[in-house]
Structures are given as C-alpha cells and as structure tokens.
Chain A
C-alpha cells in the first residue's frame, strides 16, 4: 500500500463521519488554540516586564557610594569609617575597564532657573555626553552636551520638554541664555518627552556638564555613576572590574555598591517563563484529554465500518494495513484540528496584542511545536486501541449481515 493511497482512502473514510469528525477537530482545535493563546499571554507578560526594564538601558550598572550588605554589620561601621564619596576622577577611572563601554557620572541638585521674566525651581542633573547613549535620550531640537573632557565646566545646558514650555512658551529655546542659580548657561538642546525614569520626570530637568553642576552646587562628589557594559554577557565582568578599580582607588576599601538591573530582570524572566510553561502545560493536558474523544470517535468508526474492514481483509489487507488506515484517519483529524487550533490561537494572540498593545503576546515557537506534537501524539495513542480492534476483527463475522 502506498502512503498517499492510504491517506486518500483514510480521508474518504473520515468524510463518511462528518459530524463526529468535526467534533473531534473542534476539540483538538480548542486544545491547540488554548496552548497557543495561553503561552502567548505568558510570553507577552514576560516580554512586557523585560521591555519595561530594557527601557532603563539593558546593559546598565549603577555605582553608588557606601556598601549595602544584607544583614549583619559592615566592617566599616565597626572601625568607624565613613564611606568615601564617589568623585569625578573615580568615574573617569572606570572608563579604563575593558568590559565597560561608557560611563556617565551623575550629580543632582535643584536650582532656580530663570529666563526673561519667568523662573522655576528645576532639578539639575550634572553628567557627561555619555548620558545620552546610556539612557537613550533623544533630542527634539539642538544637540546634547558636547563630547570631550568631563572636567570642563562648559556653561551649556540641555532642557526637558516641560522646562522648555514653561520658560520659553512659544519662543525658540535653543541658543538662548538662561540663568541657573547664579550662573549663566546657553541652551543647546531640548529633549524629546521621555517621562518618568530612574524615579524622576526627565521632562522637568535641566542637564549641564557634571563639572558645571559641581561648581554650581559647590561640591566635589557624585551621587551615582552609571556604567554601560559592552554587552549583556559582559555585565558580570564589568561589575567585577568596576568594583576592583574603585576598591583600588579607595585604598583597598570596598565601599561602593554596584547593582545590575540584569539580576532583577533575570529573576522576573525566570518566574514568568515558568508561568508560561505552567499554563502551556495545563492547556496541553486539556489537549491530551481530547484524546478520549478521539478514541470514542474511532471506536464508533470501527464498529460502524465492520463490513468495510471485513471486506478489506477479504481482498488482501493485512492487520498492519488496517491499523495504519485508522491511524492515518486519526492523524488527519489531528492535523486538521491542530491547523484550526493554530489559526484560532494566532488570531487570539493577535486580538490580545490589539487590545493590549503593551503586551507582546506572541506564542513561543516551542509552545506551537509542542501543541502540534501533542495533538498528533494524542491522536495516535488514543487510536491504537480502536485500530487494534479493527485489525483483529474476524472477517467472516464482519461480513455477515447478522
């Protein structure tokens, strides 16, 4: 018997039992569809969380002064040392590390910002031109802080959208002189609205070179150093290097803390992946349960087609051939069901994405493959018994009219 002949014959057999076949296709479709939609939902949730974190800059490390230990007392406390402050020199030293792509020092203060007759209290960020890349700042007009030595206190500033609107109204802001505190700065750029980030609204800040901010606030310290690792895989290396360099600069004292957002992200990633797996598994079980329906349909098919089976035997079909014919029928049903379920599931995922655009609800390919495989396996496993029964049918009894 040739495969495509067997398949055509089995297909013909199915068409004789349309309502039952459709029922079975439907149950398979719902099972496969459920797996696809639920895993898409799980993956969507995971993708959402990852995206939220990525918005912070994926390869980001943050260095801040002081050693945070969980539990116990740090050695520094016993000896009565206060942690050393981070300085601009510290930040510049970090750029030497091979695992580190860019470093942006950060100091923060508030100052009164004035233009013309208008003034407002503004958060002042002092940083370097690297900030733009590390934080993914986009410019609406003008340019960001100029590249060059971070120690230069160039009197220029970049302002957020809200600051621009409130100080300049409809005027062009770029190129104007403003007063921040007791110093004069020239506005060289306006940032695209960005919203909340790292705990403050980036639309309400003014950014100046870090040296200018230190001079403005009369300080020599940094609040934070933002470090960008060369790549995701370089994060642990960059972290170790940053710690080592700062320890060396701080007379062998480990008095800084380096946090990676990756650690947090990874945990979320793991949890949500497990969740996806779990809901996918549950849907998969429901798919396997539909196997009972498969068995029912195939058993009925066998008993209703006794004569046909008897005849097939009389004209020379082996038991193996009869088993194969029924298995192919089940497999065809499963494939139809799986295809319908896949269409259903993909449509469902697309609907979710449309309703909740923030959720990247795409079913992972492993889930789709697993669903299709489960459907096929279920069909085969639950048809083994009916197929065996058909193959063992006594042809004389099957052909008799009684």
Chain B
C-alpha cells in the first residue's frame, strides 16, 4: 500500500541544512494500523506529511498503491490527496465560517460532486458520528470533541483507503479523546489503513504496529 524507500527531507533553517528525515525505508500494508511515536523534532510529522502528499521528499521514492507519487504533477497529487488520503489534524482546521456540514462537504465540493449527493453523504456521516443535531452549527459552537469528529467526517467522506491522524487527541480532554480513538479504530476495523502520530503512550500502545522515530530515523518497528 505505502512503500517508502530512502526518503530524505532536508530543510534550510537560515542557510543551515537540517536533515529532518534520514533515509526512511518503510512498508505499510493495506488495512494496517500503525502508530508513530517519538520525541518532538524526531521527524514523525514530516514523515506523515510526506505520506499525505502535503510535503515532498528531498530524495527517495514513494509508491502509493503501486503508483510512484513523487513524480506526479500538482494536479495529480491533489487528486490523490482527495481520493486516497484522509487527514486528521491536532488543531482540527475547520473553516470557521462554514457549518459543520459544509466543512464535511468540502472535499466533495472540490471533487465536483453534486449538492444532493454531498448532502446525502455528509448527513449520513454526521449521524454516524453523533453530530446530526450539530450539522448546522459553526465550529465555534462545537466542543473540541465534536470538532474533531467533524474533521474525521471530513477526512473520510471521500472514503479514502488511507487515514492519517496527526496528534488527533492532542487537543482534547480524556473522554472526547477516547471517543475520537474509538471512531478511528472503527474505521480501521472497516478496512482503512490508519497511521496515527502521537505523543500519548497509551494511544500509541493500542496500535498493532508501533514505530518509534529518533532524529529522522525509524529506531523501532514493533508488531503485535
């Protein structure tokens, strides 16, 4: 499913090159549930961004579903992001002026899906995540947990095979966090490949496969 080979990512900080990722080789199969942990600055978010096509590797190759996505044009990459990848962020990143429902519909809007179909699918997801009554609320009228559930609905509304979550519970209280984890794991249970970046050892330990990153390298790859 996801196949990384010799991935490097070099940032320029001032005129000083900083190697955020150093030769990452990683294979993740379809339907896996992987947690990615490590200290701040270890490169785990950078790796997630490269997997999510938000960032480009400085060197190395990345194949998604057998397709070499490093060589794709902007247009094609956008299409891959839209159709194959769902992103869940620590800070939700909902658009403040749009209602919960419209936030959920955003990827479908960009994909050119007709309004009736959008409404049907977003209604369905919001109901499933217990947000039916909140569909027309703006993000500021929602609690943190509700916001993250809206964000998950948005990330999954295009039914992507891969779901990437960057500290999904980092900004939530314990109860809301658990609810969010339950939803993510349900999605995994339904076949979605799930990669979760987290600082929370309890959350990290839940995954069947646990990666630990230090200084831009994968130090540990535990299964079972």
Q: How far is the CB of A12 from chain B (nearest CB, A)?
A: 5
- The number of residues on chain B lying at the interface, defined by a beta carbon within 8 Å of a beta carbon of chain A, is 30
Q: Is the CB of A308 within 8 A of B75?
A: no
Q: Is the CB of B75 within 8 A of A318?
A: yes
Task: Report the stretch among A1-9, A51-59, A186-194 that lies at the interface.
Answer: A1-9
Q: Is the CB of B78 within 8 A of A318?
A: yes
- Supposing A396-B54, A399-B89 touch, asked if A318 and B74 sit within 8 A by C-beta, the answer is yes
- Supposing A316-B82, A321-B110, A399-B89 touch, asked if A311 and B75 sit within 8 A by C-beta, the answer is no
Which residues on A sit within 8 Å (CB–CB) of B97? 12-13, 15-16
- Per-residue 0/1 for B55-88: is the Cβ within 8 Å of any A Cβ (1 yes, 0 no)? 1000000000000000000110011011100010
Which residues on B sit within 8 Å (CB–CB) of A310? 93
Closest to B73 in A: A318
Q: Is the CB of B107 within 8 A of A315?
A: yes
Q: How far is the CB of B114 from chain A (nearest CB, A)?
A: 8
Closest to A9 in B: B109
- Supposing A308-B95, A399-B89 touch, asked if A314 and B52 sit within 8 A by C-beta, the answer is yes
**B28 close to A (CB within 8 Å):** no
CA A19 to CA B52, docked complex, whole Å: 37
Q: Is the CB of A319 within 8 A of B81?
A: no
Closest to A394 in B: B55
Q: Is the CB of B109 within 8 A of A395?
A: no
- Per-residue 0/1 for A130-142: is the Cβ within 8 Å of any B Cβ (1 yes, 0 no)? 0000000000000
Interface size class of A (residues with CB under 8 A): 20 to 34
Within 8 A of B (CB), among A300-341: 307-308, 310-321
Closest to A2 in B: B112
Closest to B87 in A: A314
Q: Is the CB of A315 within 8 A of B106?
A: yes
Within 8 A of A (CB), among B100-116: 106-107, 109-112, 114-115
Q: Is the CB of A399 within 8 A of B93?
A: yes
**A401 close to B (CB within 8 Å):** yes
CA A362 to CA B87, docked complex, whole Å: 58
CA A9 to CA B110, docked complex, whole Å: 10
Q: How far is the CB of A306 from chain B (nearest CB, A)?
A: 11
Q: How far is the CB of A322 from chain B (nearest CB, A)?
A: 10
**B129 close to A (CB within 8 Å):** no
Which residues on B sit within 8 Å (CB–CB) of A311? 93, 95, 106
Q: Is the CB of B54 within 8 A of A1?
A: no
Closest to B82 in A: A316
Q: How far is the CB of B72 from chain A (nearest CB, A)?
A: 11
Q: Is the CB of B112 within 8 A of A317?
A: no
- Supposing A1-B109, A5-B115 touch, asked if A317 and B55 sit within 8 A by C-beta, the answer is no
- Supposing A1-B112, A5-B109 touch, asked if A313 and B55 sit within 8 A by C-beta, the answer is no
Q: Is the CB of B74 within 8 A of A319?
A: yes
Q: Is the CB of B98 within 8 A of A313?
A: no
Q: Which of A15, A315, A394, A396 contacts B81 (CB 8 A)?
A: A315
Interface contacts beyond A311-B106, A316-B78, A319-B74: sample of 18 additional A-B pairs, CB < 8 Å, sorted by A: A9-B109, A16-B97, A310-B93, A311-B93, A311-B95, A313-B81, A314-B54, A314-B81, A314-B93, A315-B87, A315-B110, A315-B154, A316-B107, A317-B110, A318-B75, A318-B78, A319-B78, A399-B89
Ordered nearest first, which 3 A-B pairs have the shortest CB separation?
A: A316-B82, A318-B78, A315-B107
A–B pairs, 18, beta carbons within 8 Å: A1-B110, A1-B111, A1-B112, A2-B109, A9-B109, A13-B97, A15-B97, A16-B97, A312-B110, A314-B81, A315-B87, A316-B79, A316-B82, A316-B83, A316-B107, A316-B110, A321-B78, A395-B55
Which A residues have a C-beta under 8 Å from some C-beta of B?
1-2, 5, 9, 12-13, 15-16, 307-308, 310-321, 394-396, 399, 401
